[in-house]
Amino acid sequence: MRLSADTRLPSSIAAPAYDRAAQASGIVHFGIGAFHRAHQAVYTDDAMAAGDRDWGIVGVSLRSGDVAAQLNPQDGLYSISTRSAADASLRLIGAVRHVLVGSVAPQAVIDAVAAPTTHILSFTVTEKGYLRAADGTLDLAAARGASSLYRFVGAGLAARKAAGLPGVTLLSCDNLANNGAVLGGLMRQYLVAAHPDLVDWFDANCRCPATMIDRIVPATTDADRDAIEAALGARDEGTVVTEDFRQWVIEDDFAGPRPRWEQVGAELVADVASYETAKLRMLNGAHSALAYIGLGRGHDYVHQAIADPAIRPVVEAIMRREAAPTIDAAPGQNLDAYAASLLDRFANPALAHRLIQIAMDGSQKIPQRWLETLAWHQQRGDTCPSLGLAIDAWIDFLASGRWPIDDPMADALREAAVQPDARQRLFGAGGLLASGWRPEP
């Protein structure tokens, strides 16, 4: 039997206490993968349980019908399990109403953006989903493509303006440096080219706050689905597995109403930069190092790699000696304690977080995770030996042929990585990932 609104669950499993059917949808979320379902959707479910109304989420998948096939037959319901060494818990999340697939029903996505009840468009489309060219500006040809977020948002905003509706908040929840300003700039660039008559309206009526999002969410496996089926007494194809920890720091700059996420654990602040930079350079920077160094040493999972005595000190040095000094900590932000908590989270034996999942899309991740730290030290005449080891491990990963390279730049990366001057070809002037950092010639 499939999980649905009619399923009678065991009483030990918490379910939404608010009237789901009575909630309008206030949020359209692009990229409704496991991360969103374990993060923003949970905060939003909590906010509705605490009394906020009409913040149902319409999920959008730009291309694949997989998540729609998982969630729509279940009335948008799914379960979330949080796992630590000491305990595990399971609850049902009701915030997602249904999922639209852009490639199948494009007009339905545009209509959702243009609905009068919609106030927030949010995004977890991964780093490459922003369709940036090598220089960071919008790849306009890609952005005009059928499955581009910009096309849907542009058409939906045009309909809002035509109907005299208010603007919306565009909330990027991806691991990009300055994600809000980056999304706003790219969206604006698209509008200048595709909807010039919307540009002034967009500037005056829409907002793009920055966010720092954090929760470790490994891809759900069939074994997870089978275990959850046994616990629920119903098949849940949309289930997600995660850690207890979650964090969300949001720049308080919205175009209109929003859920009171701050009542349920999120932090609404004037400036997220120090949190976002710490998260990208320490957590994500360490993660990518664990992935490439760990795979090279024969590990499959994060908790195995962090337990390897040859790896742990390197990762600790990346966080404490190399990344932390580059961050201008906010009052009360303790980077030393943060590093310690990250080491604990990486060691969580109850989460099977695959290194190969983190290794994906290195070209999109490495600039904000490693290169900004390297550039900061280089400007001060200093070097980062531990990040140097991580760079070498990435090059070995690309060159060895032992792993499939899942990256939009895969061919060019592989070609560069097998050359004796791989570092220059990747990071030198005019290289594939040219940045503020220059490797020694």
User: Cβ of residue 183: shortest distance to ligand CS2, in angstroms?
Assistant: 17
274 token code pair? 């120090």
User: Cβ of residue 290: shortest distance to ligand CS2, in angstroms?
Assistant: 9
Nearer to ligand CS2, 318 or 358 (CB): 358
Q: Could you give the CA distance from residue 95 to residue 54 in angstroms, rounded to a whole number?
A: 10
Helix (H) or strand (E) holding 157: helix 149-162
Cβ neighbourhood burial of 200 (10 Å; 0-12, 13-18, 19+):
exposed
Q: Could you give the CA distance from residue 324 to residue 301 in angstroms, rounded to a whole number?
A: 25
Nearer to ligand CS2, 70 or 179 (CB): 179
Nearer to ligand CS2, 216 or 318 (CB): 216
Q: What is the DSSP string of 67-99?
A: HHHHHGGGTT-EEEEEE-SS-EEEEEE--EEEE
Instruction: Report which residue's Cβ sits closest to ligand CS2.
Output: 287
User: Cβ of residue 180: shortest distance to ligand CS2, in angstroms?
Assistant: 17
Decide if residue 425 touches ligand CS2 (CB under 6 A). Answer: no
Stretch that binds ligand CS2, among 89-97, 149-157, 198-206, 211-219 (CB under 6 A): 211-219
306 token code pair? 């962090």
Place of tokens 């991740």: 365
How many residues bind to ligand CS2 according to rule CB under 6 A?
9
Q: Is 418:429 a contact under the CB 8 Å cutoff?
A: no
User: Cβ of residue 69: shortest distance to ligand CS2, in angstroms?
Assistant: 23
Residue span 264-293 as binding mask against ligand CS2, x where in contact by CB under 6 A, dash where not? --------------------x--x------
Nearer to ligand CS2, 172 or 284 (CB): 284
Phi, psi of 401 (to 5 degrees): 75, 5
Q: Could you give the CA distance from residue 84 to residue 244 in angstroms, rounded to a whole number?
A: 7
Q: Is 247:211 a contact under the CB 8 Å cutoff?
A: no
Nearer to ligand CS2, 151 or 215 (CB): 215
Q: What is the DSSP string of 250-316?
A: EES--SS----GGGGT-EEES--HHHHHHIIIIIIHHHHHHHHHHHHTT--BHHHHHT-TTTHHHHH
Nearer to ligand CS2, 157 or 293 (CB): 293
User: Cβ of residue 375: shortest distance to ligand CS2, in angstroms?
Assistant: 20
Nearer to ligand CS2, 97 or 369 (CB): 369
Nearer to ligand CS2, 174 or 229 (CB): 174
Neighbour-count burial for 301-328, b at 16+ CB within 10 Å, e otherwise: bbbbbbebeebbebbbbbbbebbbebbe
Sites for ligand CS2 among residues 301-320 (CB under 6 A): none
From 293, 269, 273, 270, select the one nearest 281 (Cα to Cα): 273
Decide if residue 215 touches ligand CS2 (CB under 6 A). Answer: yes
Residue from 64, 189, 357, 435 touching ligand CS2 (CB under 6 A): that is 357
Place of tokens 């850690």: 243
Stretch that binds ligand CS2, among 2-10, 185-193, 213-221, 320-328 (CB under 6 A): 213-221
Decide if residue 358 touches ligand CS2 (CB under 6 A). Answer: yes
Strands of the sheet with 56-61, listed across from one edge: 96-101, 56-61, 25-30, 120-123, 169-172
Stretch that binds ligand CS2, among 212-220, 328-336, 390-398, 413-421 (CB under 6 A): 212-220
Decide if residue 214 touches ligand CS2 (CB under 6 A). Answer: yes
Residue from 23, 44, 175, 220 touching ligand CS2 (CB under 6 A): that is 175
Nearer to ligand CS2, 290 or 417 (CB): 290
Residue from 58, 216, 241, 371 touching ligand CS2 (CB under 6 A): that is 216
The binding site for ligand CS2 (CB under 6 A) comprises: 175, 214-216, 284, 287, 357-358, 365
